[in-house]
Structure 1
Amino acid sequence: MNNELVKISDADKTLTPGKIFYNWFAANIGIMGFVFGAMIVAYHLSFAQAILAAFCGALSFLVPGWVAMIGQREGVTTFKLSRAAYGTWGNKIPNAIAWINMVGWLSVNVITGTMLLISMYGVLDIPKNTVTRVIALAIFGGLVLLSGLLKEATLAKIQTWLSYVFGALTVVILILFLLKADWQAAFNLPSGHWISGFLPAVSIVAAGSGISWSMAAADWGAYVKPKTKPQATFWGTALGGAVPLFVLMAGGVLLSTIEPALATTGDPFGVMYSALPSWIGVIYFLVAAGGLIPQCIVSLRSARINLGTIGIRVSQRTSLVIHGLIVILIPVYVLFISGNFLANFELFLNFLGICLASWVAIFLCDSAMFRKNGYELALLVPDSKKHYNWGGIISWVIATITGFLFTNNAIWNGPFAHGIFRNNSLGVFISAIVAIICMFIVKMVAYSNNEGVSHHE
């Protein structure tokens, strides 16, 4: 098998640390950062605790930084690397999770874009009812589909300019929040519980940011110029995602002092819009909605690619129909049946976070414990004889099930979700910790059998 079918050729490695930083910065400058800030406040934390939780949550981008550094070192993208940890057939597990992740975030973006349009109805004196909500969903969904006709280069240019404009407007919005914030109310917020409040707030942010993005990190890192220092790739990725996310989450925390309902509302964008002067609110929300469209198209195409890596190969038309139905049905449920965006969003992050936290923990443990001298190419090729790496697979199953056992939410009640584990997202941390423990056991078993690294490879 030709190496270049797995490894990125040197000619294609054109990214610099600066470009890596900008790519991750642009991907995390979206309006969802304010929503994460509101979610943190919902855990009943003091102002200092909320800001610290935002900071620690943003630091979850150290994980994609590590994954990107591995991708640069090997010149291999994420899911080809993960074949070593799970086996070529066992690797279908993280592939399937990636597909669910991308389809889920695509649905979140469609819901967000639709709600942004609905939030502006007041300025246009348009009533907010079922018909007008359907129209907003049709408009945004239609724009997403029409954008699919554009080439990748055109989408990239649009995304770049929207990021600049949105970034500049965000600075203005943050200044307005700073001026309007009720600082006395913020500083007088009572302290929350560090274990059942602070840690779950950090985990839910990490699940929706660093842990989720880790699945794409090596896809960027593999294209970094060969002579680039690995530390530069690490920090370009980590800071590119963490800095804008932290700033926006801090803005969301401040906004909650102006609009306390933000932490509990089912329509956070409507509350956000009402806190802004109408003249800038319209511009800001329109740009924010426009900035979501290229992300939706990229996610849609990535979802189809992931179906292919799983082994489900369909035509572009069939893929469009499948994913189109999914990303319409989910917004219809959230917008017209459930009516609570934040509750459904947290549910999505909770379930996905448990699966992804255990996956990335196993991926990184496998790399650190068994790949110190680099990855063996024979483990990464599609026709590798190593179909299943049972150490990684069993560790993932045990860690993920354990995470769910300590989790409860609107549709699931784990038998051990009591006390400090009740009604929060600590299951995300549990799954990661158990995954690490399981991988240490795998390593000890390997060496006790006098097989060392060869056992795993």
Structure 2
Amino acid sequence: MNNDTVKVSEKDKTLTPSKLFYNWFAANVGIMGFVFGAMIVAYHLSFGQALFAALVGSLSFLVPGWVAMIGQREGVTTFKLSRAAFGTYGNKIPNAIAWFNMVGWLAVNVITGTMLLMSLYGVLNVPQNGVTRAVALIIFGGLVLLSGLLKEATLGKIQTWLSYVFGALTVVILIFFLTKANWHAALSLPGGRWVSGVLPAISIVAAGSGISWSMAAADWGAYVKPGTSAKATFWSTTLGGAVPLFILMAGGILLSTIEPSLATTGDPFGVMYRALPSGLGVIYFLVAAGGLIPQCIVSLRSARINLATMGIKVSQPVSLTIHGLIVILVPVYVLFIAGNFLASFEIFLSFLGICLASWVAIFLCDSAMFRKAGYDVTLMTTDSKVRYNWGGIGAWGIATVTGFLFTNNAVWNGPFAHGIFRNNSLGVFVAAGVAIICMLVVKALSRSSAVAGVRS
């Protein structure tokens, strides 16, 4: 099979470091950054600890930075690279995780858009009840599905302008938070526990940001212009994602001093809206809702492509039907049954974080241990003879199961989720650590096999 079927062609490598930075920046200038700030505060941390957790959590984008460098070096996108670590058939595991990741974030964005519209009901004097909540869901979900008729180039232009407008409004709101924040209350917050407070806060942010985005990093890195330094790719990716996320999380932490209920509410967007001047709140939330639509459509199309890479090929109408049902049913559960967005969001991030943390740890260990001289193209073709790389598959299985054993939430209670592991997301770090240990064992076994082969 020709290398070009695996590698990105030279003519398609057009991304400069500045464009790479903007792509990551635009993808992370979103209202969810404020929500992450609220989630950090919920761990009962001091102001300094909360900012530290936000900083370290945002630096999880060092992981996508590393993955992007590998994509640039090889000129290969993420899931084709992943075939080397898992085998062409075994690679269906991270493919399935990626599909779940895309569909899950699609549902989160639809829920977010619906709640943003609900927050605007006060301006129109519309009561908030089950019927009006359903109307908001139908309006936003319908806009997402109808927007699927737009071309990607059009969506790209819309997203670019919305990013500029949203970014400018965000700066205004951050200035508002700085002037209105209760600094005395913020600086006098008692300190929380580092192991059972700060670390879980970092892990939940990392799971929803750097770890989650790592699955797309090489997809952008592979399209960087030839001759670009690896350092430029690394820092453009890392800072492009980390800078806006940290700033927005800091804003969410400050907002909690104005609206203390932000850390415990099931409707963080309603609390945010009430904290803002009415005119500014209306404009900001409308732009925020509009900015979510292109992201939803990109996720919708990416999910269909990901199904195809797993061998599940469906027509566009069938794909739209499948993902459309998910877009509606998941928000229905969160908005009408669970009734608490933050709690449901944390469960999603916890499960997703464990699966992705073990995957990316294996991916990077495989690259560092076995691909120093570069990737063998024959391992990444669909007709590769290595269909299952049992080292990577076994490491992923052991690490993921172990992570779940140390995790508990409203729907799962791991047998070892006691003490410092109780009611938090430290299972994400456990999964990553076990994955690294397993890959060290795989490396040692492969070295032993090689030595035995030479002696025989």
Common topology (TM > 0.5): yes
Q: Which residue does the alignment assign to 2:140?
A: 140
1:98 is paired with a residue whose SS is helix
* Alignment partner of 1:444 is 2:438: no
Give the letter aligned to residue 271 of structure 1.
Answer: V
What TM-score does the superposition give when structure 2 sets the normalisation length? Answer: 0.99
Task: State the distance in 1 between where 2:153 and 2:142 align.
Answer: 21
Q: Which residue does the alignment assign to 1:295?
A: 295
Q: What CA deviation, in whole Å up to 9, does each residue of 1:242-289 have, x standing for no partner?
A: 000000000000000000100010000000000000010000000000
Distance 1:4 1:193, change over 3 A: same
Alpha carbons 1:25, 1:240 under 8 Å: kept = yes
Q: What CA deviation, in whole Å up to 9, does each residue of 1:125-147 have, x standing for no partner?
A: 01101111111111111111111
The 5-angstrom pairing of residues 390-429 of structure 1 reads 390-429=390-429
* Alignment partner of 1:272 is 2:245: no
Task: State the distance in 2 between where 1:453 and 1:250 align.
Answer: 56
Alpha carbons 1:370, 1:453 under 8 Å: kept = no
Task: State the distance in 1 between where 2:304 and 2:292 align.
Answer: 19
Q: Which residue does the alignment assign to 1:337?
A: 337
Task: State the distance in 2 between where 1:171 and 1:439 align.
Answer: 44
Task: State the distance in 2 between where 1:71 and 1:405 align.
Answer: 33
What TM-score does the superposition give when structure 1 sets the normalisation length? Answer: 0.99
Task: State the distance in 1 between where 2:453 and 2:73 align.
Answer: 19
Alpha carbons 1:362, 1:439 under 8 Å: kept = yes
Alpha carbons 1:446, 1:452 under 8 Å: kept = no
1:449 is paired with a residue whose SS is helix
Give the letter aligned to residue 129 of structure 2.
Answer: N
Distance 1:38 1:356, change over 3 A: same
2:450 is paired with a residue whose SS is coil
The 5-angstrom pairing of residues 57-136 of structure 1 reads 57-136=57-136
Q: Which residue does the alignment assign to 1:171?
A: 171
Task: State the distance in 2 between where 1:249 and 1:279 align.
Answer: 23
1:120 is paired with a residue whose SS is helix
Length, aligned pairs only:
454
Deviation at 1:178, TM superposition (A): 0.5
Task: State the distance in 2 between where 1:278 and 1:333 align.
Answer: 30
2:307 is paired with a residue whose SS is helix
Q: Which residue does the alignment assign to 2:246?
A: 246
Deviation at 1:327, TM superposition (A): 1.1
Q: Which residue does the alignment assign to 2:352?
A: 352
Q: Which residue does the alignment assign to 1:201?
A: 201
Task: State the distance in 2 between where 1:22 and 1:100 align.
Answer: 26
Distance 1:102 1:453, change over 3 A: farther
Task: State the distance in 1 between where 2:316 and 2:161 align.
Answer: 28
Task: State the distance in 2 between where 1:98 and 1:267 align.
Answer: 28
Give the letter aligned to residue 10 of structure 2.
Answer: D
Alpha carbons 1:443, 1:452 under 8 Å: kept = no
Give the letter aligned to residue 87 of structure 2.
Answer: G
RMSD: 1.1
Task: State the distance in 1 between where 2:240 and 2:319 align.
Answer: 32
Give the letter aligned to residue 301 of structure 1.
Answer: R
Q: What CA deviation, in whole Å up to 9, does each residue of 1:219-245 have, x standing for no partner?
A: 000000011001100000000000000
Task: State the distance in 2 between where 1:162 and 1:451 align.
Answer: 58
Alpha carbons 1:256, 1:262 under 8 Å: kept = yes
Task: State the distance in 1 between where 2:42 and 2:150 align.
Answer: 40
Deviation at 1:451, TM superposition (A): 6.0
Task: State the distance in 2 between where 1:80 and 1:340 align.
Answer: 38
Give the letter aligned to residue 384 of structure 1.
Answer: S
Q: What CA deviation, in whole Å up to 9, does each residue of 1:304-336 have, x standing for no partner?
A: 000000111100000000000011000001111
Task: State the distance in 1 between where 2:104 and 2:453 align.
Answer: 37
Task: State the distance in 2 between where 1:450 and 1:293 align.
Answer: 53
Q: Which residue does the alignment assign to 1:12?
A: 12
Task: State the distance in 1 between where 2:106 and 2:452 align.
Answer: 42
Task: State the distance in 1 between where 2:410 and 2:309 align.
Answer: 33
1:201 is paired with a residue whose SS is helix
Deviation at 1:453, TM superposition (A): 13
Deviation at 1:452, TM superposition (A): 10
* Alignment partner of 1:237 is 2:209: no
Deviation at 1:27, TM superposition (A): 0.3
Deviation at 1:171, TM superposition (A): 0.2
% identical equivalent positions: 80
Alpha carbons 1:72, 1:223 under 8 Å: kept = yes
Give the letter aligned to residue 225 of structure 2.
Answer: K
Deviation at 1:218, TM superposition (A): 0.2
